[in-house]
Amino acid sequence: MSASFPVLRLFRGKQRPKGGTARPAPPSFSVKHALALSVLLGAALLAQLLGALLANTALFVAGSSVGLLLDLYLVHRQPRLVAALGRLRFDVTARQLLRDALIVVGLVRLPGIDPLEEQPLALALLAGYFLHFCCQAVALLIRRRRTLPFVTRNIDASALRLSSAPPRLLARQPSRRLLYFALPATAGLMASALTAEALWGLLGVGVTLALHLGGILRLAAWLRPGAQPANEQQALEWLDRWLAEYRPTVAMYFSGGAASAYQANMWLSTLSALEARPLIVLRERFMVQKIDATDVPIVCIPKVAHLMRLEHSSLKMMLHPANSGKTSQVLRIPSIKHAFINHGESDKLSSCNPYAKAYDEVWVAGRAARDRYRLADIGVDDRDVVEVGRPQLAPIRHYAGPPAADGPVTVLYAPTWEGWTDDPGNTSVILAGENIVRALLADPKVRLLYKPHPMTGSVDPRAARANERIQQMIAEANARRSGPRPGPEAAAELARRTAALDELTTTAFRPSADEMERMLLQSTPGGDREAAVAAATAAWEEAYWASFPEWEHLVITGPRPALYTCFNRSDLLISDVSSVVSDWLASEKPYAVANTSGLAEEEFRAGLPTVRAATILTPDAAGVPALLDSVRDPSRDTMARARAELKVHLLGPADPPSIVRFDRAVAALCAKADRRRELMALRTDDAPAPRVAAEAAEAAEAAEAVQEQPDHSDPENSLTT
């Protein structure tokens, strides 16, 4: 059907938005609803036209009024339909211009109004459009001047002459401004049509002109010489001075879509705990507000030319939690060393991407990831792989024994998403999810925590439908259960803790606030905000779990509670081949992995190290009852020792702690950056002696690297003197 009616494709929007970000449609939007509103809008314009041509005052007034009111509704509640009509070259300005043109025709056709009085009305309407476009030109000029070449957070940038933004209606909403300001003119002209008195039309149009003129004068206040922010060159010079004063040594570089911010957020606590002076470098302006609460300075530099200024800063190295198309741009800076730290490790092919060889070093959790790169043979030198553990896993509590005999077994089902390929083994939601949940719900002593990946269903509609059915199954199971529930004081405590946490982690902005105003409000944080956020988060989590009865199944789809908090509340994990499994092993609790790949269990275990200590579930979930029995009775748990060994293999030793190893790796890579800069400085000198010194230093560094390289040769074949 959509092939025959291209307008429907405009209404549906793109199925795969750019950047891999899933943008679900508003709940109120549907194709049928959009078509109905489009038909109603066309009917209003047709009624206005017929009323004007037939000199039917009632029809003319009704069509004009309904059309304007319907447009006001569309810009407020149906932005996707407004965008679709705009792509058809029938935007708000075109529709309002058509309505006003029909009003002029109607006034000419309707009896009672002197033609000499109609001319000033038409000229006044044209003057209104002239002032509208003048207002828009001023707004664009202000927006351009208020757009700095970078965006900051947690940095005092008041020297850039930051100021509050102009009203949003005047500066950023030309469609709404045109419709709002047209209301008095349309009302006055309709009154003139009904009473045959041109005075009402002149009054209405006069108010509209006054509104446009007042908007221009209001915006002009932001064009005063004293209200001008720093220009591009001044702003970049200020950034250079700030970098020289702050002297950052380590930066986390991140670029991606809105839904990928979690990849950077998981490293915030590690970054802030480093002994070095950290910095967060972003590339997309919207990402500045996607980063969670942190005291680490943040700077977003969208343009490559401006990004290259980091070459002359004190930065020694960059940490990369994800690959992106823009990563190659920053890798061109020769004075900075780069380490790929990833946002999680699993046996998926994405965990040994060939792009990794572009970095100076690849930091992994343990031996398993090192072996993964070696076996993949993608060009990553084993000497460039550094085992640092997973510092984020410190909050995960260790296995403390089976659940109480009279208590429920809490099972966390946390499947991953379908990914960008058609591999059926990516997610269990489609083929096995409903069977797994059905088997768990059949046990009356099981409490299920269902936490799907936030991008589930963003690529494959089957995953979205299966996810909806699973949530419906859980809701129906809860309806069949009963038991004591927490009192109203628990909900009140949760609300209080939520408000306290939101106050610390979010910044309240006016609807009119733009980037510059947010930079002004999000300057240097006061006090130890991260410690306060950690305490408030812990208090919120306690209140959250206390607000639900222990027998109630939960569907957890938001960022709170966090995944590791769910780990600590669970006795068993069921998941897919993903980094969730590797992180869960820090607890050494039992876990199961759904095998929807089509491989035999032996082949599945042999090819995927992270599942070697897991119970393997087939798509029919037939092994769930036996799995639950092994959780309740540790004597039936045959994988305990394997989990302990696999934990060390995947995550590295417990001593020294991961954060210590991570900090040492940072110091070592910074030292390599210092040596590289020294060599580069010597090479730029034309004198022979420095060149010789540079060559000697380079040779010494190469010899040192050879000495540090582990000897994998056969001792029987070694040469001796």
321 residue type, one letter? P
At residue 355 the predicted structure's pLDDT band, cuts being 50, 70 and 90, is: confident
Half-sphere exposure of 11 (CA within 13 A, CB side): 18
* Distance in angstroms (rounded) separating the CA atoms of residues 302 and 509: 23
At residue 346 the predicted structure's pLDDT band, cuts being 50, 70 and 90, is: low
pLDDT on residue 3: 35
pLDDT on residue 379: 84
pLDDT on residue 1: 34
Residue 400 buriedness (CB in 10 A; 0-12 / 13-18 / 19+)? exposed
User: Three-state SS string across 461-511, please?
Assistant: HHHHHHHHHHHHHHHHHHHHCCCCCCCHHHHHHHHHHHHHHHHHHCCCCCC
- The larger pLDDT score, comparing residue 413 to residue 374, is at 413
Average of per-residue pLDDT across 109-115: 77
Of 5-19, 99-113, 239-253, 444-458, which range is least confident? 5-19
Beta strands in 484-614 (DSSP E): 554-555, 572-575, 591-594
Structure-token match 């640092």, residue found: 388
Average of per-residue pLDDT across 179-193: 94
Six-digit token string for 602: 């032996």
pTM for the model stands at: 0.79
Q: Phi and psi (nearest 5°) for 307?
A: -60, -35
Six-digit token string for 473: 């199954």
Show the domains of the chain with their CATH numbers. Answer: 32-227 (no CATH), 247-393 (3.40.50.2000), 409-485+549-651 (3.40.50.2000)
- Omega prior to 27 cis, within 30 of 0: no
pLDDT digits (tens, 9 = 90+) for 550-567: 999 999 998 889 999 999
Q: What is the mean pLDDT of the chain?
A: 86
Q: Which of 540, 536, 539 lies closest to 504 in space, CA to CA? A: 536
Q: How far is CA 714 from CA 40, 146, 274, 703, 717, in A?
A: 83, 66, 40, 21, 6
Say yes or no to pLDDT of 576 above 60: yes
Say yes or no to pLDDT of 603 above 60: yes
pLDDT digits (tens, 9 = 90+) for 32-70: 888 999 999 999 999 999 999 998 999 999 999 999 999
Torsion angle of C-alpha atoms 473, 474, 477, 482, degrees rounded to 10: -160
